[in-house]
Amino acid sequence: MSKILIIEDETDIADLEKDYLELSDFEVVVCNTGLTGLQRAQSESFDLIVLDLMLPELDGFEVCRQIRQSQNIPIIMVSAKKDDIDKIHGLGLGADDYMTKPFSPSELVARVKAHLSRYERLVGSGVVKSENDTVEIRGLRIDKTARRVFIEGEEKIFTTKEFDLLTFLAENPNHVFTKEELFREIWDMESIGDIATVTVHIKKIREKIEKDNSKPDYIETIWGVGYRFKV
């Protein structure tokens, strides 16, 4: 049985989420502050975390950042403000998904299930490995546990999807992927968007890691086909 941690200070919302998840056979633990939630996440093993953003003691941003230093389990962040979603993206905290309140509990359950099965698939394929798992290629270092990227030792801030795309390419070097394949791989649970999204993300990644975009060291364009990570 999968074990879910809900970190939410509004007890009626927490209770509703808990009820729905328990009806779907999940084991659920609720913490009402950021600090107790973080302590619980660090001392017990969970399969997924539902994390509210505005929390007493320690906010959701900080809780997410600290959990990501040691764990790569799925984290779904929830917020009452749409603006916060942009902030979550911008900070590259490594949250896997975001939901804006109010949302239907059944949608939460659907997303929890989707993230758990995706994560299990990644673990099964060996893509997700142990703690402090890093990928290093020449001057590029990807710290998968903390979800941080460094070029020649200097940290570059990545959004969740940029990070996922770069990591996927770097872990499958010398393989040419079409935009369609990359879109399916990285955006597989989202219904909106198209392959142009891939082009935009590749461009943003290159701005962060390449010295010269016309002669990329890492991500090469294979004209008419797609992209390849060079080794």
Q: Which is nearer to Ca ion, 11 or 39 (CB)?
A: 11
Binding characters for Ca ion, 105-134, by CB under 5 A (x = yes): ------------------------------
Options 33-41, 46-54, 182-190, 193-201: segment touching Ca ion (CB under 5 A): 46-54
Neighbouring C-beta atoms of residue 10, cutoff 10 Å: 15
Which residue has its beta carbon closest to Ca ion? Answer: 54
The closest alpha carbon to 78, from 43, 111, 114, belongs to 111
Residue placing its CB nearer to Ca ion in the complex, 99 or 135? 99
Under rule CB under 5 A, residue 52 binds Ca ion: yes
DSSP the chain: --EEEEE-S-HHHHHHHHHHHHHTT-EEEEESSHHHHHHHHHHS--SEEEEESS-SSS-HHHHHHHHHTT--S-EEEEES-HHHHHHHHHHT---SEEEESS--HHHHHHHHHHHHHHHHHHHHHT-S-STT-EEEETTEEEETTTTEEEETTEEE---HHHHHHHHHHHHSTT-EEEHHHHHHHHSTT-SS--THHHHHHHHHHHHHH-S-TTS-SSEEEETTTEEEE--
Q: How far is the CB of 97 from Ca ion (least distance, A)?
A: 17
| Residue 210 engages Ca ion in binding (rule: CB under 5 A) | no
The nearer residue to Ca ion, 34 or 216, going by C-beta atoms, is 34
Q: Which of 2, 9, 16, 195 binds Ca ion (CB under 5 A)?
A: 9
Binding-site size for Ca ion (CB under 5 A) equals 3
Binding segment for Ca ion among 7-15, 40-48, 148-156, 201-209 (CB under 5 A)? 7-15
Q: Does 137 bind Ca ion (CB under 5 A)?
A: no
Residue 14 vs 21, nearer CB to Ca ion: 14
Selected range binding Ca ion among 6-14, 104-112, 124-132, 140-148, rule: CB under 5 A: 6-14
Does residue 54 belong to the site contacting Ca ion (CB under 5 A)? yes
Per CB under 5 A, residues contacting Ca ion are 9, 52, 54
